[in-house]
Amino acid sequence: MVVTPLRLRQQLAAFSPLSAITLAAAALTRLSGARTALEGAETLVAHHYDAQRAVLTDSGRSALQVAIELAVNVRGEERIVGLPAFQCFEVASAAVGAGCRIDFYDVDPYTLGPDLDSLERMLRRGVKVVVIAPLYGVPVAWDEVRALVDLYGARAIEDAAQGHGARWNGKRLGSLGLLSVVSFGRGKGWTGGAGGALLMRGDFSAVEPPMQHSAQEARIFAVTLVQWLAGRPWLYGLPASVPSLGLGETRYHGPTPPERMAAISASVVRWTHDMSAREAGVRRENAERWRLELPARTLAGLPHLTPGAVPGYLRLPIRLSPASAASASSGQAKRLGVARSYPVPLERVAEIAGNLCESRPVNPGADLLAARLVTLPTHSRLSEDDRRAIVDLCGGWTY
């Protein structure tokens, strides 16, 4: 039997700002009562994202599920939702939870935004509800997308789960749709340990997910505490070596009935607001430094930005040649926080096969991204040594 030596040091692919003080303050705030904690955080989140109303949910997936249900019911049409062909598997899970069949539009591998021709073909097939979900905080051309969606009398849900810190034409991602969704989950730019938010602008029916039990609250607080303790580069190799935790893996999690965010998470959201804004600034600076430090042939694979875009760069996405992307799966790359993106387009996630529409056009952009998209860390825990080692690793990469 080959025993691989355990290395404690491993860089995180993404980092959510938390501190002992924010966790302690959150625990104290929670004592003022669950409703008070939730309502305080909902007011803050609604204000931050310029929404008429925010409903905090147990996950970003739940928030998206509720958004899809609202959008589908408003139209009273067949329950079909259009998703990007390349995205986080939770997006598909939310559609399944909303009881929808799923159609896809392709993702442009050069901008990472919707392929507008493919989106239009999908709208012509009669899809009336579309999820637009920017990858890694790279804003999409929202004006073009909205014009197209409006032309076909459809409705766009903005899923800004990866968009913390990003802006498009001066507006925050998460503030663009009539219905928007954000995530406060692990590894997101602004975290509550777990959770999400549904953001509403306009006339939607009331949404009142059930409250969580206090036993769940205690578990969430314990997990958040462990995440905070273990989320340090000198120690992260330990949890990352436990297969059952699945850290850094893309797995499909089936939908669960949406619940309200745990009050303790809502308190954490309130207390991490300012440090998350600072961290977003660091991510942007680090992304700029990558532009100066990486070889030109690697930089050629960076996404083309749409006018007015200020990315949030939860991670820095780069399109590489298939061989270079394969080498980004090495143990050394993993130890440096370099990670492959999603391994397959959504239509190949076996668990959602029963929900797919019959028409199955090819999505070459999504296939290309699954084979070739790699992400570099941008967070504040990246050391100078890590940066140098990543530049060495990238030396052999081609676009």
Binding site for ligand PLP (CB under 6 A): 59-61, 64, 87-88, 90-91, 133, 159, 161-162, 183, 185, 196
**Residue at shortest CB range from ligand PLP:** 60
CA pair distance 313, 281, nearest whole angstrom: 10
Taking the complex as a whole, how short is the minimal distance between the CB of residue 180 and ligand PLP, in angstroms?
A: 11
Which residues partner with 373 through β-bridges?
Answer: 319
Quick one: 173 or 394, whose CB is closer to ligand PLP?
A: 173
Provide, rounded to whole angstroms, the least separation between the CB of residue 5 and ligand PLP: 31
| CB contact at 8 A, 71 and 155 | yes
Nearer to ligand PLP, 294 or 376 (CB): 376
Q: Of all helices (H) and strands (E), which one includes residue 122?
A: helix 116-124
Least spacing, CB of residue 61 vs ligand PLP, in Å: 4
Q: Please tell me whether residue 190 adopts helix, strand or coil conformation.
A: coil
CB of 174 vs ligand PLP, minimal distance in Å? 11
Q: Which two tokens stand for residue 40?
A: 């305080």
Cβ distance to ligand PLP smaller for residue 298 or 375: 375
- Report helix, strand or coil for 230: helix
**Strand order from edge to edge, sheet including 373-376:** 316-319, 373-376, 339-340
Min dist. Cβ of residue 139 to ligand PLP (A) = 13
Q: Which is nearer to ligand PLP, 139 or 185 (CB)?
A: 185
Under a CB-based contact definition with an 8 Å cutoff, are residues 310 and 139 in contact? yes
Work out how close the CB of 135 gets to ligand PLP at its nearest, in angstroms, rounded to a whole number: 8
CB 321 within 8 A of CB 300: no
Alpha-carbon span 298 to 324, nearest angstrom: 10
Cβ proximity to ligand PLP: between 110 and 252 the closer is 252
Closer by beta carbon to ligand PLP, 80 or else 88: 88
**Cα 390 from chain centre:** 23
Apex CA 193: angle with CA 200 and CA 199, to 5°?
Answer: 5
